[in-house]
Amino acid sequence: MLESRAIRFHEPIRLNGKEVYDLVKNSPPLDENSMYCNFLQCEHFSDTSVCAKQGDTLVGFISAYLLPNNNNTLFIWQVAISKEARGQGLALKMIEHLLERLHLKNVCHIETTITHENQSSWRLFEKVASALSCEIHSSEWLNKETHFQSQHSTEMLVKIGPFQTQH
């Protein structure tokens, strides 16, 4: 267990790229990214992404972006919480933190993708919908055979909203 020091949230910076890479790599079933991809997330998507730090340790990371053709929808790309920091609702708090950012005040929909077997992720996003008092719907998006040629489980597209945030 991590000692109970406060966890702080901050926008990622380029220097976080390597520790984000390590956290994602150690958070199955997330797909491991190239380290280069994580540097891009930290630099180019920092406005819409968040790091959670306990002391100097990265204990959580969410990469997200606004849909290029619809800037009221936040697409959550990956959520990773270190094993030691799980079980305290940290990912939900990080999503709520993102929605409190002033430059995201127009966001009223969240989208993400989840595989059928990722129960903790389903539960997390059901809790997000419940916290935002709105609907959650899912439909098949990337099919195991058609899109992944059996090399990856089917990804369901999950849509949450519309919701209002307190700004």
Ligand X SMILES: CC(C)(COP(=O)(O)OP(=O)(O)OC[C@H]1O[C@@H](n2cnc3c(N)ncnc32)[C@H](O)[C@@H]1OP(=O)(O)O)[C@@H](O)C(=O)NCCC(=O)NCCS
Interface residues with ligand X (CB under 6 A) are: 27, 29-30, 78-81, 86-92, 112, 118-121, 123-124
CB of 47 to ligand X, least distance (A): 19
Q: Looking at beta carbons only, is 86 or 109 nearer to ligand X?
A: 86
How near is the Cβ of 166 to ligand X at its closest, in Å?
A: 21
Cα end-to-end span (Å), the chain: 35
Nearest to ligand X of 105, 116 (CB atom)? 116
**Coil/strand/helix, residue 154:** coil
Rank residues 18 and 25 by Cβ distance to ligand X and give the closer one: 25
Place of tokens 């055979």: 145
The least distance separating ligand X from the CB of residue 127, rounded to whole angstroms, comes to 6
Phi, psi of 11 (to 5 degrees): -65, 135
Q: Which is nearer to ligand X, 104 or 128 (CB)?
A: 128
Shortest distance (Å) from residue 79 CB to ligand X:
4
12 Cβ neighbours under 8 A, 6+ residues apart: 20, 41, 42, 43, 45, 46, 49, 50, 51, 61
DSSP, residue by residue, 69-103: TEEEEEEEEEEEE-GGGTTS-HHHHHHHHHHHSGG
